[in-house]
Amino acid sequence: MKNKNTASTIRILILTVLGIAMLFPFFWMIGTSFKQGSDVFNLSIFPKKASLENYRKLLSGSYFPMWFLNSLIVGGVVTLSVLFFDSLVGFALSKYKFPGMKIIFLLILSTMMIPTEMLVIPWYIMSSELHWVDTYWGVMFPGLMSGFGTFLMRQFFMGIPDDLLDAGRIDGLNEFYIWWKIAMPLVRPALAALAIFSFIGNWNAFLWPLIVSNMIDMYTLPVGLSFFNGEFQNQWEMVMTGATVATIPVLIIYLIFQRQIINGIALTGVKG
Amino acid sequence: MVYCRKIFSGIGPMTQKKIKRKSVERTKQIWAAAFLVLPIIFYVGIRFYPTFQAFILSFTDWDIISRNKEFIGLENYRMIMKDPVFWKTLGNTGKYILFGLPINLLLGFSLAYTINNVTGKMHDFFKAVYFIPYITSMVAIAWVFRWLLQPAPIGVINKILILLGLPTQQFLLSLTQALPSILTTTIWQGLGFQMIIFLAGLKAIPLQYYEAAVVDGANNRKQLFYITLPLLKPTIVFLIVTGSIRFLRIFTEVLNMSYQGEGGPLNSTKPLVLYIYNKAFYEFEMGYASALTVILFFIILIVTVIQLRVMKDEK
């Protein structure tokens, strides 16, 4: 018994030390963001004199608030669209029988295998012909629906008994209302997981927003951050402040929904 | 409606019910079709047509400026085969996979194995902590690591090396150290994902197997090699495939960590996707870049097919 206890203490000790090492880059990032002048280059996580000056500069002297807003809009709208359409399609493909249904499902699933890298060139051509470059729509349109979300929602809708839906039909509800009022409330946990994955995925998305936005005020946070160093002439404390601000919304979501996120990943093995 | 009833009144009650059910089915199908109209347009227009277009473009010499496309057959592919930068970037991508994947799997498994033996609140706590990097923006992470890896006397890691009396390192400026430095960042970020999947796999192994093994006198090591690892095979296959695809598509961290974002020094860190990006959006050689994406597509396809094969054999 004693042996077992020592083993578990050692385990916890190792995991704690490694955990601190794992989070060290974050500590260093946040620490630097509160530093000023030559203190930035001191070998200490804690600033000599903590200052909010970098954050003030970020908010008033850069495009950062604009990029933050852009990311919020893009992430929000795409997430709403994905929730609506993916659950609608997932519902249609699990609760109705019609010819060609299986093929439609397989085709939608197969889109998960097409790498984004292959699509960005045609998307860019499309966007420049239709004048979608440097618009919110341009950043958002490729993500409005997803094969992954459709698959996820279909799985969950299949678990709903048909009797419940038929009860609605007897009450004279049309099919749209049956989906919206009866089926949707029953899959709330799946919707929550999909919303979280979708938002985080879009908040962090880089390749396509980088390609489709040329004007500095249309950048999303990751795109802005990647050009930030140039703008601030190697002021590392500013870059770290930007990185901190880009990370914090996702961290907050993670702290609130940690269990759903981890269980969702384990369940599906895919990030949104 | 009145007309309908008149017709139905002439038929027996059973058939009437059948016809009614048929019309209900029909209404349902119409609704289902209505639900699917927009999505089908979306998937055709934004997924399948662009895929097709990428294939077509790969047979042309189109650059976005001159606006005229010329069909040149397989010329792009022929040029790619003779392009030293292509082979260099393909080799670099191979290095990312070859070194990144085994290290990532080994660390992910060790972490999951250790955390699996911790119970209660601490179990959830460690799981949560190690997962954080996976959900943070890769751009932010890349810049934090770039800051940590700055040459002496600025970079933190070099400062620590000086403090320990060790020689300072060039890291991202070095021809040999830049790729491992970037790879470390990728591994660090992906570790949480591997851990969670391994933990789910470990949880799925029935405890009775271990109990039986203990009765038979098998020690920890034997249990690990004769029960745990063989039963984790589907998990490992899944992680090898998703991991390979992740490393095949490596881009963001290289663009943000290498100097001038060009996969330097001297292309030593440049992966295939960054080469595609530069060809398409800096040199505007859309045809050539499309051919490169087609090659990437087939590599990913092969990896996925192998996974499906192996998984099928399992069953």
Which pLDDT tens digit goes with each residue over B263-293?
Answer: 888 899 999 999 999 999 999 999 999 999 9
Question: A243 and chain B: CB distance < 8 Å anywhere?
Answer: yes
Same-domain check for residues A22 and A59 = no
Count CB atoms within 10 A of the CB of residue A52.
Answer: 12
The alpha-carbon gap from B255 to the nearest alpha carbon of chain A, in Å, equals: 9
**Per-residue confidence band for A71, with pLDDT thresholds at 50, 70 and 90:** very high
In whole angstroms, give the CA distance from residue B96 to residue B269: 9
In whole angstroms, give the CA distance from residue B235 to residue B238: 5
Q: Chain B: residue nearest A109 by CA?
A: B43
3-state class of B71 per DSSP? strand
Average pLDDT, chain A: 90
What are residue B60's DSSP bridge partners?
B71
Question: A236 and chain B: CB distance < 8 Å anywhere?
Answer: yes
Among B292, B296, B250, B294, smallest CA distance to B271 is for B250
pLDDT score, position B5: 45
Same-domain check for residues A203 and A101 = yes
Domain that holds residue A67: 55-268
The answer to whether B183 and B99 are in contact (CB under 8 A) is: yes
- Which amino acid, one-letter code, is at B297? F
pLDDT tens for residues B231-268?
998 899 889 988 999 999 999 999 999 877 788 888 99
**Per-residue confidence band for B27, with pLDDT thresholds at 50, 70 and 90:** confident
Name B275's Cβ contacts closer than 8 Å, sequence gap at least 6: B85, B86, B89, B263, B292
In whole angstroms, give the CA distance from residue B234 to residue B188: 23
| Residues of chain A numbered 131-150 and touching chain B (CB < 8 Å) | 141-142, 144-145, 150
The answer to whether A132 and A141 are in contact (CB under 8 A) is: yes
Question: A230 and chain B: CB distance < 8 Å anywhere?
Answer: no
CB distance A266–B197 less than 8 Å? yes
Question: A211 and chain B: CB distance < 8 Å anywhere?
Answer: yes
The answer to whether A217 and B150 are in contact (CB under 8 A) is: no
The answer to whether A165 and A183 are in contact (CB under 8 A) is: yes
CB distance A98–B29 less than 8 Å? yes
Same-domain check for residues A10 and A76 = no
Same-domain check for residues A17 and A96 = no
- Which amino acid, one-letter code, is at B299? I
Same-domain check for residues A115 and A39 = no
User: Looking at A16, A35, A51, which one is the last position of a domain?
Assistant: A51
Domain containing A240 — which CATH number? 1.10.3720.10
Question: A269 and chain B: CB distance < 8 Å anywhere?
Answer: yes
- Which amino acid, one-letter code, is at A253? I
Same-domain check for residues A10 and A40 = yes
Same-domain check for residues A34 and A86 = no
Q: What percent of chain A has pLDDT over 90?
A: 67
pLDDT tens for residues B193-245?
999 999 999 988 988 888 898 888 888 888 899 889 999 988 998 899 889 99
The CA-to-CA distance between both ends of chain B, in Å, stands at 55
Same-domain check for residues A66 and A132 = yes
Structure-block tokens of residue B94: 């191979």
Question: A98 and chain B: CB distance < 8 Å anywhere?
Answer: yes
Structural domain count of chain A: 2
pLDDT score, position B68: 72
